[in-house]
A and B are shown apart, each in its own frame.
Chain A
Amino acid sequence: MLETTRYEMGRRVRGTAVLTVGVSLYVAFIVWYFSLLDPSAFEQVAQSLPPAMLDAFGMESIGSISGWLGGQIYTFLWLLGLGIYFAYTSAGLIASDIESDRMDLLLSFPMSRSQLLIEKVAALCLPLITVNVIVGGVTYATVASIGETIDPVSLVMTHLLSIPYLLVCAAIGLVLSVMVDRAAVAQRAAIGLIFVLWLVESAVGAAEDFAWIQNLSPTHYYSPTPVLIDGSYELIDAGILIVAFLGLLIVSQVLFYRRDI
């Protein structure tokens, strides 16, 4: 058990390191930039913007460090950037092995297809957990270093609740990966889909007649800025994301089990 997970994690060490360092540097830059700004001027700018835009860019309380990070880091980098990263990565999990004929060897192992799939997905825990733990720590430390404070519990919850969201993004990529024959197609479709889902949540929120559409988007169930500002969140949202993740995982298992290699 877990031999494949161990092997695949070993293959992900470098990518995880690059991702974590990159995101950490960006966070450090954003925090440092905040120390140069006059917060009250920002509040004024924010008040002049239409509410839909404030909502889309997560610009509530942009004058505080929590609001600033929520808008600059979590709404963009976490929801969109990392969402795309995990969808893209898992879109390659199966499709690229099939394309490179590596799947021939893997399926000659005494191992069921569903176990292979689960073990490969489990290897994504390495980047998922590393990036959350390290970047969370970097955020806390850099905020402290510019003389601001951020509630550590809210920060931890922001990261913790992002995990079900990112798992759903990964599962969306996975379904594409088992459906499509070519890795590049699955990966492009995954990027497009996550972007559209993110956009749907932001754009449709204001239009009442179509508000139901946003229920389809995983971003609807994870709002980092309020968690960060006042620690408010709904556990049911995380529950919905976990159920969606498991559902998509089962769908991809069924599709993978039935397909010809």
Chain B
Amino acid sequence: MATIEVTNLTKDYGTVRAVDSLSFAVESGEIFGFLGPNGAGKTTTIRALLGLLEPTAGTATVLGADVHDEDALIDAKRNIGYLPANLGFTEDATGEEVLDYHESVKGGSRRDELLEIFTPPVDRPIREYSTGNKRMLGIIQAFMHDPELVIMDEPTSGLDPLKQEEFNEFVRSERDRGKTLFFSSHVLSEVRRVCDRVGILRDGALVGLEDIDTLLRQGGKRVQLQTTDEAETDLAAIEGVVDVQTFAERFQFIYTGEYNTLLRELATHDVREIEISEPPLEDIFMHYYGGDGTAESNQEVQSDA
């Protein structure tokens, strides 16, 4: 049985449909990326998985427990860690006190080990914490009871790049220990680096479910450069160049082809300025999921929900 199984999950808030007939499964022992722009319904889905919200329709099981069944879900939660996007710790408590409380409720066999990797100042009150320190405290409480499944909502926001890399390394090692990790994020590059598989959410509906290699192949790179008009014409003709746009000084396209082909072509022209980067998430939706991001989804999606 899948670790998380979501079946036609729908959540309406009055006129707004936050999640629309969502179905996917997260297998045991994988890092599942849950990718989508802000407001796509990621947090709503997570809240439904944890029983914080009552779904309007459909259901989900987490570690075999139905989210409608409070008793079963409470049992399952002994083996779930949760790292929410907004960490509302008691401001006047110290990190130590918060961890003591969490340990008393759910256990903390790995607390000391985690405090060696992530280093919030646990003897200080949380109101003095930076965002990064709060995030590290959140990571510790999510993993300290050595759960089977950890659900993470924007887990690296606020962490400095060094800690982000350490965190990603840690997440991979957890996967290698057989844990399942649900990694919700709006940052494509991060999801690409860490996750094994990724579900892409837009306007509450799943618009893609890919393994990471496919996404890497499809995602391409955004190339922005300043060059001659003649070079622009040549470049636009290469296979794998899409979404060509010309600005006053700049020429931009998304490249999904083989890198050497592009580099050889570039070498024959006068390139005055170049930047090769991850395409924005919106561009991926535009190019691989149709004009408004809904073409491959058979479900109705509200335009600006």
Chain A residues packing against B (C-beta within 8 Å): 3-4, 6-7, 10-11, 97, 100-105, 107-113, 258, 260-261
The 8 closest A-B pairs by CB, nearest first: A102-B88, A108-B82, A101-B88, A100-B88, A3-B104, A101-B86, A261-B52, A110-B77
In the bound assembly, the distance between CA atoms of A165 and B50 in angstroms comes to 37
Residues of the A chain whose Cβ atoms lie less than 8 Å from the Cβ of B104: 3, 6-7
Asked if B87 lies at the interface with its beta carbon under 8 angstroms from chain A, I say: yes
In the bound assembly, the distance between CA atoms of A110 and B141 in angstroms comes to 14
In the bound assembly, the distance between CA atoms of A237 and B89 in angstroms comes to 41
A260, B90: Cβ atoms closer than 8 Å: no
- A206 CB to nearest B CB, Å: 46
- A106 CB to nearest B CB, Å: 9
In the bound assembly, the distance between CA atoms of A113 and B53 in angstroms comes to 12
B52, A105: Cβ atoms closer than 8 Å: no
Asked if B223 lies at the interface with its beta carbon under 8 angstroms from chain A, I say: no
- B216 CB to nearest A CB, Å: 32
- Residue count of chain B within 8 Å CB distance of chain A: 30
Residues of the A chain whose Cβ atoms lie less than 8 Å from the Cβ of B71: 112
B87, A105: Cβ atoms closer than 8 Å: yes
Given contacts A107-B50, A109-B77, 15 further A-B contacts (CB under 8 A): A7-B100, A7-B101, A7-B104, A11-B92, A11-B93, A100-B88, A102-B90, A103-B88, A105-B88, A105-B141, A107-B52, A108-B82, A110-B105, A112-B71, A112-B74
Residues of the A chain whose Cβ atoms lie less than 8 Å from the Cβ of B82: 104-105, 108
Residue of A nearest to B151 (CB): A108
In chain B, residues 129-147, which have Cβ atoms closer than 8 Å to a Cβ of chain A? 141
Residues of the B chain whose Cβ atoms lie less than 8 Å from the Cβ of A258: 54
For A110, give its contact among B54, B74, B86, B92 (CB under 8 Å): B74
12 contacts between A and B (CB under 8 A): A3-B105, A4-B105, A7-B100, A104-B82, A104-B84, A104-B86, A105-B87, A105-B88, A109-B105, A109-B106, A110-B78, A261-B52
- B55 CB to nearest A CB, Å: 10
With contacts defined as CB atoms under 8 Å apart, how many contacts are there between chain A and chain B in the complex?
A: 70
Residue of A nearest to B79 (CB): A110
In the bound assembly, the distance between CA atoms of A101 and B154 in angstroms comes to 15
- A116 CB to nearest B CB, Å: 10
Asked if B47 lies at the interface with its beta carbon under 8 angstroms from chain A, I say: yes
Residues of the B chain whose Cβ atoms lie less than 8 Å from the Cβ of A113: 70
B53, A260: Cβ atoms closer than 8 Å: yes
B84, A105: Cβ atoms closer than 8 Å: yes
- A194 CB to nearest B CB, Å: 26
- A256 CB to nearest B CB, Å: 12
In the bound assembly, the distance between CA atoms of A14 and B52 in angstroms comes to 31
In the bound assembly, the distance between CA atoms of A6 and B82 in angstroms comes to 22
Asked if B51 lies at the interface with its beta carbon under 8 angstroms from chain A, I say: yes
Query: Counting chain A CB atoms within 10 Å of each CB, which of B52, B53, B74 scores highest?
Result: B52
Residues of the A chain whose Cβ atoms lie less than 8 Å from the Cβ of B78: 110
B52, A104: Cβ atoms closer than 8 Å: yes
Asked if B75 lies at the interface with its beta carbon under 8 angstroms from chain A, I say: yes
A108, B101: Cβ atoms closer than 8 Å: no
In the bound assembly, the distance between CA atoms of A11 and B93 in angstroms comes to 7
B84, A110: Cβ atoms closer than 8 Å: no
A104, B105: Cβ atoms closer than 8 Å: no
B88, A104: Cβ atoms closer than 8 Å: yes
B87, A101: Cβ atoms closer than 8 Å: yes
Asked if B80 lies at the interface with its beta carbon under 8 angstroms from chain A, I say: yes
- A80 CB to nearest B CB, Å: 28
- A72 CB to nearest B CB, Å: 34
- A257 CB to nearest B CB, Å: 8
Residues of the A chain whose Cβ atoms lie less than 8 Å from the Cβ of B97: 7, 10
**A11 and B105 contact, Cβ closer than 8 Å, known pairs A101-B84, A104-B47, A261-B53:** no
For B105, give its contact among A103, A111, A112, A260 (CB under 8 Å): A111
In the bound assembly, the distance between CA atoms of A109 and B74 in angstroms comes to 8
B47, A102: Cβ atoms closer than 8 Å: no
- B68 CB to nearest A CB, Å: 13
Residues of the B chain whose Cβ atoms lie less than 8 Å from the Cβ of A260: 47, 52-54
A108, B77: Cβ atoms closer than 8 Å: yes
Residue of B nearest to A102 (CB): B88
B80, A108: Cβ atoms closer than 8 Å: yes
- B132 CB to nearest A CB, Å: 18
Residue of B nearest to A107 (CB): B52
In chain B, residues 39-62, which have Cβ atoms closer than 8 Å to a Cβ of chain A? 47, 50-54
For A102, give its contact among B50, B89, B105 (CB under 8 Å): B89
In the bound assembly, the distance between CA atoms of A109 and B81 in angstroms comes to 9
In the bound assembly, the distance between CA atoms of A10 and B89 in angstroms comes to 15
Residues of the A chain whose Cβ atoms lie less than 8 Å from the Cβ of B54: 258, 260
In the bound assembly, the distance between CA atoms of A113 and B141 in angstroms comes to 20
Residues of the B chain whose Cβ atoms lie less than 8 Å from the Cβ of A111: 74, 105
In the bound assembly, the distance between CA atoms of A244 and B92 in angstroms comes to 34
In the bound assembly, the distance between CA atoms of A112 and B88 in angstroms comes to 19
A97, B88: Cβ atoms closer than 8 Å: yes
Residues of the A chain whose Cβ atoms lie less than 8 Å from the Cβ of B77: 108-110
In the bound assembly, the distance between CA atoms of A61 and B77 in angstroms comes to 60
